[in-house]
Amino acid sequence: MTAFSMIAVAASWLIVLRKYRHKSHCHSQVAVRWLKNRQIIMLLVATVMSFIAAAWGYFEPTLMKAFM
């Protein structure tokens, strides 16, 4: 399931980046507008959550020891 979610998030990034590629001038206003977009914010959250899910096995034992 984690691999599927990572693939879905990557495909979503590709779609969004294709959509905004023609607007990718080096203007600071475009970058600010891009970061205010709700779709971009949700993709950033989904990306972070997917990476946390993928790496969960590495830091779960430490968390279990800390809270037990």
Q: What DSSP character marks residue 22?
A: G
For 9-66, write each residue's pLDDT tens digit.
Answer: 999 999 888 877 766 555 666 666 777 788 889 999 999 999 998 888 888 888 888 9
Amino acid in the structure at residue 56: W
Residue owning tokens 């709700």: 38
Amino acid in the structure at residue 17: L
pTM across the whole model: 0.70
Q: Which of 52, 42, 50 is nearest to 15 (CA)?
A: 42
